[in-house]
Amino acid sequence: MKLIIAVVQDRDAHTAMAELSRRGFGATKLASTGGFLRKGNSTLLVGVEERDVEVVLTILRRTSRVRQELLTSQAPSPGIEPMAVPVEVTVGGATVFVVDVDRYEKF
């Protein structure tokens, strides 16, 4: 058995959860926050048999979109008050870990 831990953007989590459910995979969604952009994420936990790992990864690839966003950062300028500078960053997609599960019980 495998545990898939997928960190996705909040805006993609609903679609990913719906598709996983539609395909018969149970998942648990945990609220999380990214350290770099400090934006809301969701961490999805999906327990699957080894033969189903690629199916779940395909669903996550399809439902977790990468997008460009403009963020405003404070750029320090020597001798001048800090000014807001728009910076384009890539956000979205998914960070996924697949780990072995030694034991699984459901009560």
Is 104 or 67 the better-scoring residue by pLDDT? 104
Q: What is the dihedral of CA 64, 19, 2, 102, to 10 degrees?
A: 120
Annotate 50-82 with DSSP letters as a single string.
Answer: GGGHHHHHHHHHHHS-EEEEEEEEEEEETTEEE
Q: Which residues does 39 contact at the CB level (< 8 Å), separation at least 6?
A: 9, 10, 33, 91
Residue 98's pLDDT band (cuts 50, 70, 90): very high
- Does residue 29 carry a pLDDT above 80? yes
Residue whose pair of structure tokens reads 């997609």 in the numeric block: 93
pTM of the model: 0.78
- Does residue 81 carry a pLDDT above 70? no
Supply 84's token pair.
């807001």
At the top level of CATH, the class of 2-100 is: alpha beta
Query: Average pLDDT, whole number, for the chain?
Result: 86
Domain coordinates in residue numbering, the chain: 2-100
- Does residue 37 carry a pLDDT above 60? no
